[in-house]
Amino acid sequence: MSLLEVRDLQIEYASARGPFKAVDGVSFSIERGEIFGLAGESGCGKSTTAYGIARLLRGAARIVGGSVRMDGVELTKLSDAQFDAYRWARISIVLQSAMNNLNPVMKIKEQLIDAILAHRTGISRADALRQAGELMELADLPKDRLERFPHELSGGMRQRVVIAMALALRPELIIMDEPTTALDVITQKGIIDKIVELKRTFGFSVLFITHDLPLMLEICDRVGVMYAGRMAEIAARERMLAGARHPYTQGLLRSFPSLTGPRVRLEGIPGSTPDLVAPPSGCRFRDRCPHALPVCGSVQPPVQAGEDGVVSCHLYAKEDALDEAAAAGS
C-alpha cells in the first residue's frame, strides 16, 4: 500500500465571477521513502493540491470531491481534532518563504520548543530544549542560533530552521512548497542536499512542489506535471529525462537551458493558460499545443497508464479509444 493515495481530488474556489476548480480530478500516489515532485506553471494548482492534502485551505477554497488516503485512512473525512493527530506527527509542511512559517517576534528556541510540546505529551521543557538543539544540529545550524530571532538569520538559515521544525516529530510525509524560492543558487544547492541527506537518514517521504522542472528532476524519484488544474503526466525521473511524453512537459523542458549539453535555442510555450472560471472543453492545453488533434477540442484526454508512467493526451490513445472519443464528441 502506498503511503499517500490521492484520487480524483477536486478543490474549488469561490470568486466574484463564480466558482472554479483550481484542482480538477488530480490523482497520484506517494510511496514510502519516495520524493515525489509536483511541477507546473504558476496557477496550475500544485500548491492548492498540497494545501488540500494538509488541510490548510483557507477562505474561499474547499475540497468538493475526491479522496486523500494515508495508510488507508480517508483524511478528508477526519474531524479537525482527529486530523490534528496527523499534522506534524505524520504530515508536516514547509511553505514557500521561511518567514511564513516562523513567528517574527519569537526566538527560534521558543518556536521549536512550542512545536515539540504541543504534540508530545509527558515531555519536559528541558527535554524539549535538548531536542531543539539536536534538530539544529541535524540542519547543520549552530546551537547558539536558537537564541536568535528569525530576522537575525540569513534566508538559507531560516529555511534550515523550518526544515528542522518539520522534522521535530519525525513525520512520515513532509510537504515542501517551493522550499528554495528566493534563495541564491549556492544556498539552494545546500538546502536540496540537506533534504536528500535527511530523507536517507530518516526514511520519510516528500511531496516536493516547484515550477523549476530541472531542479525537480535532480532530486525526485518520480515527477507529476500539472496544467490548468489537471495532471498532464506522471513519470519516473529517468523516463522524464529520456523523453517526456506530454507536449506540455516537453515544452517546459525546452524552456530551460542545459548546462552540460549542446547550446540550443530556448523555446517558450506560446499563448497563456486558460480561464478556469470558463475552461475550454476537451484538452485544456489544446490552444497552445503544437500537436493538437481535432478531438482535443471536444473530449477530455483519456489517462493512458503504462509501466513507465501516466499521460493524459490523445496522442497516446489507442486507435479504437480515439475513434470512440471522436464519436462521443460529435
pLDDT of the residue at 39: 94
Sheet holding 230-236, edge to edge: 91-94, 173-177, 205-210, 35-39, 222-227, 230-236, 309-312, 303-306
Query: Which residue's entry shows cell 521558543?
Result: 110
Q: How far is CA 228 from the centre of its chain?
A: 15
Q: Is the dihedral of CA 108, 110, 113, 117 positive or negative?
A: negative
Amino acid identity at 236: A
pLDDT of the residue at 58: 87
pLDDT beneath 50: ranges in the chain: 319-320
pLDDT of the residue at 324: 57
Domain ranges of the chain: 4-90+171-329, 97-170
Of 116, 152, 151, 147, give the one whose Cα is nearest residue 132: 116
Quickly name the fold that domain 4-90+171-329 has. Rossmann fold (3.40.50)
Cα(258)–Cα(242) distance, integer angstroms:
14
Note the pLDDT tens digit of each residue in 146-183.
999 999 999 889 989 999 999 988 999 999 999 888 78
Please check whether residue 164 is in contact with residue 129, taking contact to mean a CB–CB distance below 8 angstroms: no
51 contacts: CB under 8 Å, gap ≥ 6: 57, 58, 61
